[in-house]
Amino acid sequence: MSAHNERDYSSAGSSAADSAADAVRRAFAALPFEQKIATLLRVELDMVGDVVETVVNAASRAADEIADAFSGKGEPATDATGTTTV
């Protein structure tokens, strides 16, 4: 694909994203004040929930890796002759 075609593709994608974002902005602007506040709070809570989930998952993976390292699961297996097997 030529650079010209790639440029056309990305501008078409960003144009669609821009129009979708504009539609969301118009819909939000049409809401009454109370619904705007409620919507913003809901979005904030969703973002906080996503962050907490990411942190918990990362901590869980780290704990699993540490436990595996101490239990020997992280080491390659060897057979009776002492040769490493995969």
pLDDT digits (tens, 9 = 90+) for 19-53: 999 999 999 999 999 999 999 999 999 999 999 99
pLDDT: which is higher, 84 or 47 = 47
What's the predicted TM-score (pTM) here? 0.52
Task: Give the Cβ contact number of residue 39 at 10 Å.
Answer: 13
* Amino acid of residue 43: V
In this model, does residue 2 exceed pLDDT 70?
no
Task: Give CA angle at 16 (12, 22), nearest 5°.
Answer: 140
Query: What pLDDT, on the 0 to 100 scale, is given for residue 66?
Result: 93
Task: Give the Cβ contact number of residue 46 at 10 Å.
Answer: 10
Query: Could you give the dihedral angle defined by the CA atoms of residues 68, 69, 73 and 79, in that order, rounded to the nearest 10 degrees?
Result: 180
pLDDT: which is higher, 42 or 72 = 42
Burial class of residue 86 (count of CB atoms within 10 Å of its CB; 0-12, 13-18, 19+) = exposed
Query: What pLDDT, on the 0 to 100 scale, is given for residue 73?
Result: 67
